[in-house]
Amino acid sequence: MRAWQVWFVHFLVLNGAVHCVTSLEEEFSDSIFGNFLEPLRDLLDHKDDGNATVAKFSLRKPSHPDDDLCYITPGDPGSLAACTFNSTSKTFLVIHGWTLSGMFESWMPTLVSALYERERTANVIVVDWLSSAQNHYVVAAQNTKAVGQEIAHFIDWIEETTNMPLDNIHLIGYSLGAHVAGFAGSHASNKIGRITGLDPAGPDFEGEHAHRRLSPDDAHFVDVLHTFTRGSLGLSIGIQQPVGHVDIYPNGGSFQPGCNLRGALERIANFGIFAITDAVKCEHERSVHLFIDSLLNERQASTAYRCASSDAFDRGVCLSCRRGGCNAVGYGVSRVRRARGVQMYTKTRASMPFRVYHYQLKIHFSSKINVSEMEPSLTVSLFGTKGEADNLELKLKERLVTNKTHSFLLVTEKDIGDLLMLKFKWEETNSWSASSLLKMVSSWWSGDSDAANMEVHKIRIRAGETQQKMVFCVKHPDSNDLTQEVTFVKCKDAWRMNPKRKRVTLKQR
Ligand SMILES: *[C@@H]1O[C@H](CO)[C@@H](O)[C@H](O)[C@H]1NC(C)=O
Ligand SMILES: *[C@@H]1O[C@H](CO)[C@@H](O)[C@H](O)[C@H]1NC(C)=O
Ligand SMILES: *[C@@H]1O[C@H](CO)[C@@H](O)[C@H](O)[C@H]1NC(C)=O
Ligand SMILES: *[C@@H]1O[C@H](CO)[C@@H](O)[C@H](O)[C@H]1NC(C)=O
């Protein structure tokens, strides 16, 4: 780009940033990459002349994960020996994304170390395409194909020179780097083992033909983590559509815990453009940290579950591992051989180790009359052999309906072991007046059974991580104490014989 173009682009970026402070969070990615970039496409449509795309291959050392001490030069077998390339071990090529700074991001040495931690004899090669990535986004995106082709040549050359089986090659690409990896895989003469896409970039790739983005055709196994897929009209920073054999959407692929994008938007309002990178980075980059976590905490791998949608997952209906229904997140993911890709979901903590424990609660609310106005807040405390998790909110995705089984997803941050007991709490929220609330408090869990009573007989639970299924019954079904918190214990066989006596009643009026 010429100087005036650079200036113009920066001008647009700055202006776009200022405008988006006022826009809604959901429109955030839109306003950055959507509307105001459109005119840029025409401006920059002619390709850069000259050979800007030069990829360098730095074989990093476990002792110096941060330093580029030895470059492997395609065509120079001596460089393999000089860098002590081990042609019988696994070879990782780590491919960075778009950059404003022109430097590697801070996660790079962490990822390199984590790879060596897990695979001690591996070759961890950092692909440096910073010079082509440090461009306006649209230009950098255009460069991904050429960089991918260079990497493909590198891979072909390694294969010829060392007879290394290509199943040993694992490309790990972040953001735009994921598509670079895709082009590398599709242009290599033989199929490589695996590509991991870490939140592959969305703009300019969403909805494109499989040949023009990362796709399952690019390697024997392509696994993808999507962490920042928020947006509308198909425009978001991370690609929304599935692009691999296994596509995992942690926390639905958006709103990563601990990132606080809303807070970040406020910072942008206060501190301007430079806060944007922080805001976006946290969620986009979460994919990298989830992968690092999976390398370092092998025994605490997160589990992801196949599900038709994020909403269905949030209702807890997808915690089954039957027929490939679940898989490990990150490095330890098992290869799935299916014609069609699999979309999976998981919840995470806000920091490493990210793993949580998933539970599905199925609760049947029954009553003689139709209850329509209830919007209670429901909380549950779980007690297990290893600990407890208190006051977990059961999120009602819809209004409570009489005589219907509602399903909820619950997660605990720590392992509480096998479930022994749970406490269930029901509180009315704003939609009811204070006086009716008072009445309810005094009569809520009484054992009366007039027509207006809501009843809960038992709570069925499925634990995702252990795949255990349990049924819990009210502990003191006959007691008339008026507490709002009711204790459920594992049902004894007896409950089947006398179900009437073992129910708890929620008196409505
Ligand atoms: C780009 O590289 C090719 C081959 O490496 C070379 O033939 C060509 O002259 C280069 N073009 C420019 C503009 O440097
Ligand atoms: C190369 O890798 C293989 C297998 O990963 C390992 O057994 C061997 O010790 C390595 N060689 C060197 C020189 O590190
Ligand atoms: C709910 O089911 C019970 C038992 O089947 C029945 O007696 C009751 O009338 C039903 N309530 C409504 C509102 O249909
Ligand atoms: C409850 O509502 C459903 C549908 O709204 C209706 O079919 C049913 O007859 C009602 N039952 C009672 C007991 O009012």
> Tens digits of per-residue pLDDT, 38-91?
444 444 444 444 555 589 999 999 999 999 999 999 999 999 999 999 999 999
Q: Where does the pLDDT of residue 12 fall: very low under 50, low under 70, confident under 90, or very high at 90 and above?
A: very low
86 within ligand 2 shell (Cβ under 6 A): yes
Q: Does 199 participate in catalysis according to the annotation?
A: yes
The per-residue pLDDT for 279 is 60
The per-residue pLDDT for 307 is 97
8-state DSSP, 425: E
Known binding residue 218? Answer is yes
The per-residue pLDDT for 276 is 56
81 within ligand 2 shell (Cβ under 6 A): no
Q: Distance, CA 61 to ligand 3 centroid (Å)?
A: 69
Q: Distance, CA 119 to ligand 2 centroid (Å)?
A: 11
Nearest CA to ligand 2 atom 6: 121
366 within ligand 3 shell (Cβ under 6 A): yes
CA distance 201 to 95: 13
Residue 121 has pLDDT above 90, yes or no: yes
Helix, strand, coil share (%) of the chain residues, nearest 5: 35, 25, 40
Q: Does 175 participate in catalysis according to the annotation?
A: yes
Which carries the bigger pLDDT value, residue 435 or residue 234? 234
Residue by residue, what is the 3-state secondary structure of 122-173?
CEEEEEECHHHHCCCHHHHHHHHHHHHHHHHHHHHHHHHHHCCCHHHEEEEE
Residue 210 has pLDDT above 90, yes or no: yes
Query: What average pLDDT does range 460-466 have in this prediction?
Result: 96
Q: Where does the pLDDT of residue 30 fall: very low under 50, low under 70, confident under 90, or very high at 90 and above?
A: very low
Residue 104 has pLDDT above 50, yes or no: yes
Q: Does 30 participate in catalysis according to the annotation?
A: no
CA distance 198 to 209: 19
- Annotated catalytic residue, options 284, 358, 406, 457: 284
Known binding residue 223? Answer is no
Nearest CA to ligand 2 atom 9: 121
Query: What average pLDDT does range 188-207 have in this prediction?
Result: 95
Place of tokens 């972040």: 174
121 within ligand 2 shell (Cβ under 6 A): yes
Residue 272 has pLDDT above 70, yes or no: no
Residue 211 has pLDDT above 80, yes or no: yes
Query: What average pLDDT does range 287-309 have in this prediction?
Result: 96
Query: What average pLDDT does range 455-473 have in this prediction?
Result: 91
The per-residue pLDDT for 56 is 96
Query: What average pLDDT does range 131-143 have in this prediction?
Result: 91
- Annotated catalytic residue, options 29, 31, 132, 175: 175
Q: Where does the pLDDT of residue 271 fall: very low under 50, low under 70, confident under 90, or very high at 90 and above?
A: low
Least confident of 80-89, 330-339, 473-482, 484-493: 473-482
- To the nearest whole number, what is the mean pLDDT of the chain? 81
The per-residue pLDDT for 465 is 95
| Cα separation of the two ends of the chain | 73
**CA-closest candidate to residue 380, choices 403, 408, 346:** 408
The per-residue pLDDT for 255 is 85
Residue 346 has pLDDT above 90, yes or no: yes
Which carries the bigger pLDDT value, residue 321 or residue 505? 321
What does the pLDDT look like over 375-419, one tens digit per residue? 778 899 999 999 999 999 998 887 777 888 999 999 999 999 999
89 within ligand 2 shell (Cβ under 6 A): yes
What does the pLDDT look like over 484-496, one tens digit per residue? 688 899 987 544 4
